[in-house]
Structure 1
């Protein structure tokens, strides 16, 4: 008596446990002509290949860290978010990852969805050896310009680390601090440490701007993070400039006379 053929749902359940393209289960069902089985096989192969590609790319983003780790260096990735908005601070983050860090989805925050960033944020905080935030207020930005305020905020982030780094990997900036620095163009996509810093800075700032939205309603800060959207510009026209606006930025300047 021949063995009963598993149902398509049973096959799908078996395939959920498959994590390798050379798993015998894939071979066993390769000759199964049922469309549902073939569709499930294809989806499984795509899932595994996507994971393999993500892991390969993630390992490539650790190449700078590994080079420094091999020299017994303590590496911190540093990145910023919020240089372009009309309101709110520029936020920087410095992150020191452990040598066994393994969260392949950690990538340039701009390449990730909000949902993914929110999911990765606590994982980074839990696994990192040290994390620090640096803030450059709108007042500081108005005093010394956005570029210099970003440099100051980056220094504050590095200074705030509980562990002293010996090497910094920075996204294209020069931090005014006496620590060796590797500056990478689009570093948040080339270094896992900078990627982690970009996610931490982005999520931290988004949460902060959502809080400001409660304090200063009418500008849409929770949804636009202080960027010059239609809602934000309408708020400026109707309610004027708040204490978190960058008064040296256009078009904020022309609304300074508008009273609340």
Structure 2
């Protein structure tokens, strides 16, 4: 082909699946080590991209199957973030996605690095037919308990989606049954299996993390920017030293708390 190794590497880096197949055939007799290494690297990249496309399609296809089993229609995915922290609200995300365009990188929020979550969250907000994040504050959690708080937040989130003009036929809920809505369909580990639940987990996580960083400015002693309200050693030590803030869940802190200083 008269190409330098550098030329080959560049073309292989830029090649899609069809172009790679053509290049691979053309380079089959090229024994230069740099070329062989570049072909193998491109093959691995192409295979990884194909696997990711299949995974992403599976998220959407599984969701379509669940909806079809309930007669079809508009699907809203729900997920919660912040069930276990000592401080900060419970957050619930609700997302209605179109089947196209598919959102690259969509996955369970726990599997994504923070920068990738931020990127995907932006795409979810741009692409979704409707989305919402609802909070239940610490005092409500203390008063009503977590199960009731979850049901309240999910109801609020679905109501906001429908108030935006998107009537919902099927409610896909990550985890175990709450029976808060007759349209409810439960999907264990749904944030890694259903597109709209994954999207809900991401927007809820990003919104809650942003809120906890704002609380870190108001209550700098507790390190909320890093622990996000969870029971890190530094956070526990801060509770013992400074007491509880208004955003702490007192019922979660009985083993470590001093009387509130706020």
Category of TM-score, reference length = shorter chain: over 0.9
Give CA-to-partner distance per residue, 1:32-62, whole Å, 9 cap, x none.
Answer: 2111111111111111111111111111112
Aligned to 1:237: 240
Choose which of 52, 55, 58 in structure 2 pairs with 1:54: 52
Alignment RMSD, CA only?
A: 1.9
Distance 1:254 1:43 in 2: 52
- Match runs of 1:109-188 below 5 Å: 109-161=109-161, 162=164, 163-175=166-178, 177-188=180-191
Structure 1 unaligned residues grouped into runs of 5+: none
Give CA-to-partner distance per residue, 1:168-188, whole Å, 9 cap, x none.
Answer: 111024455444121011111
Once the two structures are TM-superposed, the CA of residue 221 in structure 1 deviates from its matched residue by 0.5
- Which is richer in helix? 2
Choose which of 208, 226, 231 in structure 2 pairs with 1:223: 226
Distance 1:45 1:211 in 2: 45
Aligned to 1:11: 8
CA contact (8 A) 1:151 1:173 kept: no
CA contact (8 A) 1:73 1:166 kept: yes
Give the alignment's TM-score, normalised by structure 2: 0.91
Aligned to 2:261: 259
Distance 2:114 2:208 in 1: 12
Give the alignment's TM-score, normalised by structure 1: 0.92
Once the two structures are TM-superposed, the CA of residue 234 in structure 1 deviates from its matched residue by 1.6
Once the two structures are TM-superposed, the CA of residue 244 in structure 1 deviates from its matched residue by 0.3
Residue correspondences, number: 256
Distance 2:189 2:72 in 1: 25
Once the two structures are TM-superposed, the CA of residue 259 in structure 1 deviates from its matched residue by 3.0
CA gap 1:258/1:155 in 2 versus in 1, 3 angstroms: closer
CA contact (8 A) 2:104 2:120 kept: no
Distance 1:259 1:196 in 2: 38
CA contact (8 A) 2:60 2:99 kept: no
CA contact (8 A) 1:166 1:179 kept: no
Aligned to 1:88: 88
Give CA-to-partner distance per residue, 1:188-212, whole Å, 9 cap, x none.
Answer: 1111110010001111111110110
Aligned to 1:204: 207
Distance 2:179 2:212 in 1: 27
Structure 2 unaligned residues grouped into runs of 5+: none
Distance 2:223 2:153 in 1: 25
CA contact (8 A) 2:242 2:258 kept: no
